[in-house]
Amino acid sequence: MYPEIVLTHLLFGIGLGVVMHRSDFCMAGAFRDIFITRDFFRMRAVILLVSVTSVLLYLARTAGLVDSYPPSFYSSPSLAHLAGGVIFGIGMVLAGGCVMGTLYKAGAGNLVSLCAFSGLLLGSLLFAWAYPLHRSFVEATTLPGGFTAMEHLTGAPGLSALLIVSISILYLFRGKERPAWTSNAFARGYLDPWKAALIVCAIIILSFTLTGRPLALTSGYSRLASCLAERLLPEAVTLPSARSDSVRLLYGMAMDPESLSGTDPVVLTQVPLIFGIVIGAFLSALRLGEITARPAPPRRQLLSGFAGGILLACGSLMAGGCNVWHIMGGLPLFVFQSVLFVCGMGFGAYVGSRLLLTTVLQVERCAPHGNHSY
Amino acid sequence: METIAIDIRGQICPACLLITLREINTHKTVLRDGKARLVIKTDHRDATRTIPSTVCAMGYDINVTGRKGYYEITIGYRK
């Protein structure tokens, strides 16, 4: 069974890598573009992704294809989800991509994203040392009552999907102008983000129906970081202060190991997904002739990518998952911790955008003007 | 006609659009007089969407050519 699980997630990853690279469907870009250029083009695709996933998950549940509902793997919300979202939002703008964005851009040969990936690994290790403090914060700020999702409050199946679709429609059609869904991008093999969003929806639903869980990456790169640390700094990993609670984090989060007969589920699912995204983006870029030597970006941008990667790791570990876990998994189910994470992520993207403009790029904000509308 | 070449390959998002706008503002006079054109080299796929749509709305003509490993965006003022 294990080779099938690994292969399935590798194929999911390759599919995601190709689709993300072709469309440049970057969630960091979706949030950041709103604040920097007032471009809502990619955000529309994110909203489409969340609302269609929400409806499809409800239908899958009604058809008996999804067992775990309301989701047991999303805990009660705490302020750590909000704070983690803020840190993650700042990090993704500085890194030039969210976790998935970092992976597909690194796969396509972007040096800033490679720096961001190094930062992700280092950030995972750094956070392990602060884990006991994080646990105390979570325990002190967790909402009592055991309410994790909208359905726990209302008890009405389907209400979450209805609410999400209603909010999405209100947002998308709030203005007088019809929102643009397609663009005249000149890039070879370009895929419009709305099409990418629907393909990603299909992969999310497949993941839910085959494994009972949404896609996730956070524990995967934490595991990669811990493997590297074990080889490079074995003393640090075995220090008493790195044990106890932080070991759980450093060696991957619990992911229902019983269902996989005790075999490490992170290695079986998330690690192949990570490698798949990188491979998929690389193959796509290679096919399009985009893998070539290119000049090194300014040092300030490389540092920004690295620092952003550290923040991405710390934010996602603090919030129990990155945007893939929360936006592609929790938000469509109206999970409260994911709602908090996304609110924090939006604010973080605003702060990150200011930092990027003033500190990294050192240019003024340039909103599109003239008779053009996104 | 003078060619002002800007190579922004490998740079972080959204540097391509912002640097292009900055360069257009810097060289606005010669671009509008038709004495120069701006040639941007970028490997950022989304820039082939954002730069043309933004710059066209500002009254400039644009031409995008796919090269090996990057895209070349030529910007000149629309007469």
Residue at A260 is within a domain:
no
What's the half-sphere exposure (Cβ side, CA atoms, 13 Å) at A73?
20
Picking from B11, B56, B69, the nearest residue to A290 by CB comes out as B69
- From chain B residues 7-36, the ones with a CB under 8 A of any chain A CB are 7, 9-15, 17-19, 21-22
Q: Are strands B36-42 and B2-7 parallel, antiparallel or unpaired?
A: parallel
Token reading at A9: 């997630």
Distance from CA of A232 to the nearest CA of B (A): 30
pLDDT at A251: 41
Question: Which DSSP helix (H) or strand (E) runs through B60?
Answer: strand B60-67
Structural domain boundaries enclosing A220: 2-253+265-360
Over residues B29-65, the pLDDT tens digits come to: 999 888 999 999 999 999 999 999 889 988 899 999 9
Neighbours of A253 (CB within 10 A): 18
Comparing CA positions, the residue from A171, A202, A194, A220 lying closest to residue A325 is A220
User: Phi-psi region for residue A90, left (φ > 0), alpha (ψ -120 to 50) or beta?
Assistant: alpha
CA angle A71, A76, A80 (to 5 degrees): 125
Whether A355 contacts chain B with CB within 8 A: no
pLDDT at A265: 74
| A345-371 per-residue burial string, b: 16 or more CB within 10 A, e: under 16 | bebbbbbbbebbbeebbebeebebeee
Kindly identify which residue of chain A lies nearest to residue B25, measuring between CA atoms. A366
Question: Which DSSP helix (H) or strand (E) runs through A274?
Answer: helix A265-287
Kindly identify which residue of chain B lies nearest to residue A109, measuring between CA atoms. B10
Number of domains forming the structure of chain A = 1
- From chain A residues 239-268, the ones with a CB under 8 A of any chain B CB are none
Lookup result for tokens 């602060």? A130
CB distance A337 to A320 below 8 Å: yes
**Which residues in chain A are contacts of B54 at CB distance < 8 A?**
37, 368, 372
Which value does ipTM take for this structure?
0.90
**Mean pLDDT for each consecutive 10-residue tract of chain A (374 residues)?**
85 97 93 91 94 93 78 88 97 95 95 96 89 92 86 82 91 77 88 96 92 87 84 62 42 41 70 96 95 90 96 95 93 94 97 94 59 38
Bigger pLDDT: B13 vs A117: A117
Q: Are strands B70-77 and B36-42 parallel, antiparallel or unpaired?
A: antiparallel
Distance from CA of B1 to the nearest CA of A (A): 25
Distance from CA of B37 to the nearest CA of A (A): 19
Q: How many CB pairs under 8 A join A and B?
A: 113
Residue at A88 is within a domain:
yes
Comparing CA positions, the residue from A328, A29, A107, A325 lying closest to residue A202 is A328
Angle between helix axes A79-95 and A131-141 (nearest 10 degrees) is: 130
Which DSSP string do the residues of A193-233 spell out, in sequence order? Answer: HHHHHHHHHHHHHHHHHHHSS----HHHHHHHHHHHHHHH-
Residue at A339 is within a domain:
yes
Kindly identify which residue of chain A lies nearest to residue B59, measuring between CA atoms. A370
- Ordered by start, the domain boundaries in chain B are 2-68
CB distance A367 to A50 below 8 Å: no
Which DSSP string do the residues of A317-361 spell out, in sequence order? Answer: HHTTS-HHHIIIIIGGGTBHHHHHHHHHHHHHHHHHHHHIIIIIS
Residue at A158 is within a domain:
yes
Residue at A369 is within a domain:
no
CB distance B45 to A285 below 8 Å: no
Residue at A227 is within a domain:
yes
Residue at A168 is within a domain:
yes
CB distance A99 to A106 below 8 Å: no
